[in-house]
Amino acid sequence: MNKQRRKFLQQGIIGAVAGIAAPLLSSATLPTADKKRVLRIAHITDVHIKNDPVAETGLRNLFREINSLVDAADFIINTGDTVYEANRKTDSYVASCWQSWNKINQLENKLPVFSVIGNHDNWYAPEGMVEKFRSSPDYRKNWVISQLNLPSRYYHFKQKNWHFIALDSIGDINYELDKRQLNWLRETLKSIKKSEPVCILSHVPILSVASLMYMMESRESPEEYKFPASEMHRDSLILKNLFFEHPNVRLALSGHTHYADSVKFQNVTYLCNGAASGNWWKGSLNNFAPAYALIDLFEDGSMESNLIEYDWRKDGL
């Protein structure tokens, strides 16, 4: 298919929601020529790779396109659900998914990848087999941490003058930060100079229109619409208030819904940037095709993002 490049101007209230065929552009201006771009990142999410020719071709094409950009990205951010589904699966199945990821990453990708943990990356055994696998050193989140070379399940790093804070959305029960992680986040934000912008990375959206739309499209009647707890952080109000205390938090990237949107609230732009796998490597999901985003970050804390639908099936599968 032909590439369709959808540009979302990140100063708008909402960049795109489910079912919109063309992008909505805000009245905000693009970054001017006198602003200095310091980083270009490729944002991928919800790859859902498995030992399958369609999924492997899609990931191969994704990495090839990102790595062949004339205006090159500095690195890739992967906001989780890297493997197809490690939930209630055997160790041999999960191993085959990670083997596919590592094989294609090594062959097709030359850029650094910074990742977070998605709900489908969390390995736990099928019913009746928990005792067999519970003692494995790879059980639960240990496997994804080791395979993606994460320093921890949540962490902080800096590139140029931008800080990146990678969160673990996958609580023991709900999609929220545990108390220890929340305290760490508070202290980390306090430690960052106010003049240096911050980008938050999470698998599950912290604030999202896509989460609500996904919930609405999966329910039969408006009476069933509730807070989309399975699609958005339960502690979104706590995090929103924390970010308000730190005006240098400028951007939050996520995935999870396989939809794409852009929401700006109290000076933070929340981007849920679709899914590399689209409808789990079966094409589009409610008009959202397999996609990735290119995001330019500027020295002054501003940014510009483009959502790109890529040729995931161009090998003829």
> What domains appear along the chain, each with residue ranges and CATH number?
4-309 (3.60.21.10)
pLDDT tens figures, 246-302: 999 999 999 999 999 999 999 999 999 999 999 999 999 999 999 999 999 999 999
pLDDT tens figures, 188-200: 999 999 999 999 9
Looking up tokens 């100079």, which residue turns up? 193
Q: Are 129 and 90 in contact (CB under 8 A)?
A: yes
Q: Choose the most confident range, by mean pLDDT, from 130-144, 173-187, 220-234.
A: 173-187
CA 103 to each of CA 56, 86, 119, 187: distance values in angstroms, whole numbers, following the listed order:
10, 18, 22, 38
pLDDT category of residue 10 using cuts at 50, 70 and 90: very low
Is the pLDDT assigned to residue 201 strictly greater than 60?
yes
* Distance from C-alpha of 245 to C-alpha of 267, rounded to nearest angstrom: 11
Mean predicted confidence (pLDDT) in 89-107: 97
Is the pLDDT assigned to residue 2 strictly greater than 70?
no
* Distance from C-alpha of 139 to C-alpha of 143, rounded to nearest angstrom: 6
pLDDT tens figures, 202-239: 999 999 999 988 878 876 676 667 788 899 999 999 99
Is the pLDDT assigned to residue 164 strictly greater than 90?
yes
